[in-house]
Chain A
Amino acid sequence: MPVSVRIPSPLMKLTKNQGEVSAEGKDIREVLSDMERQYPGIKERLYDEDGSLRRFINIYKNEEDIRFLNGESTHVQDGDEISIIPAIAGGILLSKNL
C-alpha cells in the first residue's frame, strides 16, 4: 500500500531534495523501513541507538501523532499521509551531517 511521506527540510538532503516521497508498508514501522531502503541513512536520523524513535522527532499519520495511536504499529492504508515533524528552535536544527 503506497502512502506519501512528508519530509522536513533538515532531512531533505537524504531524499534528493524531495519534500514528499512515496513508501510502502502496512504500518509505520514498515513504511520507515521502506524509506531506509529507498533513501539509506534516514533511519539513523529517526531512531536512536536503542532503536526507538528519537524524542525530538514526531511522526504523524494524517493529523494524529502516532504516539497517541499505536506508535510504530499504527496501521496505514492507501492515501494516508505520514509526516515527520522535528522540533525546530530558530536558527538551529537537529540533525547532524547536513
Chain B
Amino acid sequence: MSDLDFSEEQIHRYARHIILPNVGGKGQKRLLESKVLIIGAGGLGSPAAYYLAAAGIGTIGIIDFDEVDISNLQRQILYNTADIGRAKVDSAKDTIVSLNPDVKVECYKEKLTSKNIKEIIEGYDIILDGTDNFPTRYLINDACIILNKINVHGSIFRFEGQLTVFKPKEGPCYRCLYPEPPPPGMVPSCQEAGVLGVLPGIIGTLQAIEALKLILKIGRPLIGSLLLYDSLKTEFRQMRLRRDTKCPVCSENPTITELIDYEEFCGVRV
C-alpha cells in the first residue's frame, strides 16, 4: 500500500503506527477502513472509544440511550462538566471528532433490544461490549453468535475487572462461560455497587487494544482465555475458557436460536 493514499496530515498523525513493525501504512489503512461498535458509552466504552478514535479506527458506532449525569464524570472520560444533561452519544461524538476528524461516528441513542440489535451490529467488524447489565450482555452474545461477529467483552465490579474475546466458532461464548444470567432476585440495585474510578480505564483500554490486534491480525487475541484484574492486589491472572459442547447458543445443536429480552432488573429501569 502506497503512502500516497494518506494525506500529509495523516502521515504525521499516524506516524507512530506507520513506522511500527507489523502495522505500517498497510495496517493504518486497515484501521481506517474498519468499523467498531461500542455498546454502552460509559466507564468502559469511554476510554475504548477515545483510544480507538486516536488510533484511527475509521468508523466508530456508539449506542447508548442515556444522558450525561454528574456521577458519570468520576470515570467516563468522554464527557466534560459542561456536557451534563446532554445525550451521551452526541457528547461522545463531539469529543471524538475534535480528537480525530478522520473518524466517522455513528450514533444510536436507543436501547438495544432483540428487535434492533441485528440491524445495528450487522455493519460492524467488531463489537465491544461495555454494558452494565446482564440482559444486554446475553443479548449481545447471542446476536454476535447468530451474525458471526467478534465480541470484545469487558466487565468491572468495585476493584476487579474481567476481559475476554468471544470469537464465534474459534472459541467459547459468554454462555459457554455462564449459561444463564442470574435471576433478578440475586441482583441488588445498581446504585449499591461502586467502582474505583480508574478501573474502567484499565479494562476499557484493554478491550480497545484487543480490537486493534484483531483488526491488524497481530499477536494472540484473548480468545479462550479470561483475564482477571485485581486492582487492590495489582494482579493479572488468566483462566482457560473452553467451548461448552452443550452450550445453548454456540454448540452444534443450540437450544436458543432466537434472541431473548431478559427482564431488566437493575435500578430504575425495572
Q: What per-residue 1/0 map shows which CB atoms of B173-190 lie under 8 Å from chain A?
A: 000011111100111101
Q: Contacts A9-B157, A85-B239 known; A90 to B192 CB distance under 8 Å?
A: no
Q: Could you say which residues of chain B place their CB within 8 Å of the CB of A1? A: none
Q: Could you say which residues of chain B place their CB within 8 Å of the CB of A63? A: 238-240
Q: Contacts A89-B134, A92-B133, A93-B193 known; A55 to B42 CB distance under 8 Å?
A: no
Q: Could you say which residues of chain A place their CB within 8 Å of the CB of B237? A: 83
Are A93's CB and B157's CB within 8 A?
A: yes
Residue from B44, B178, B239 in contact with A60 in the complex, judged by beta carbons closer than 8 Å: B239
Q: Contacts A85-B226, A87-B134, A88-B160 known; A94 to B186 CB distance under 8 Å?
A: yes
Q: Could you say which residues of chain A place their CB within 8 Å of the CB of B118? A: none
Are A94's CB and B42's CB within 8 A?
A: no
* In the complex, A30 has a CB within 8 A of chain B: no
Q: Could you say which residues of chain A place their CB within 8 Å of the CB of B190? A: 91-92
A87 to chain B, nearest CB (A): 4
B51 to chain A, nearest CB (A): 19
Chain B interface bracket (under 10, 10 to 19, 20 to 34, 35 or more)? 35 or more
Are B133's CB and A55's CB within 8 A?
A: no
Q: Could you say which residues of chain A place their CB within 8 Å of the CB of B238? A: 63
* In the complex, A58 has a CB within 8 A of chain B: yes
Residue from A9, A90, A96 in contact with B133 in the complex, judged by beta carbons closer than 8 Å: A90
Are A94's CB and B177's CB within 8 A?
A: no
Q: Could you say which residues of chain B place their CB within 8 Å of the CB of A89? A: 131-134, 137, 155, 157
The A contact surface, by secondary structure, is loop
Q: Could you say which residues of chain A place their CB within 8 Å of the CB of B185? A: 96
Residues of A in contact, count (CB < 8 Å)? 27
Q: What per-residue 1/0 map shows which CB atoms of A49-72 lie under 8 Å from chain B?
A: 000001110101001110110000
The closest CB in chain A to the CB of B195 belongs to A91
Q: Could you say which residues of chain B place their CB within 8 Å of the CB of A55? A: 178-180
A89 to chain B, nearest CB (A): 5
Are B186's CB and A96's CB within 8 A?
A: yes
Q: Could you say which residues of chain B place their CB within 8 Å of the CB of A85? A: 162, 226, 228, 239
7 interchain pairs (CB within 8 A)? A9-B159, A58-B178, A88-B162, A90-B130, A93-B187, A93-B188, A98-B188
Residues of A within 8 A of B (CB): 8-10, 19, 54-56, 58, 60, 63-65, 67-68, 83, 85, 87-96, 98
Q: Which 6 A-B residue pairs are closest in the complex by CB-CB distance?
A: A90-B132, A88-B157, A94-B182, A91-B190, A87-B178, A56-B182
Contacts A65-B240, A90-B156 known; 15 new A-B pairs at CB < 8 A = A9-B159, A19-B232, A65-B241, A83-B228, A85-B162, A88-B157, A89-B134, A90-B40, A91-B132, A91-B190, A92-B187, A92-B190, A92-B266, A93-B157, A94-B182
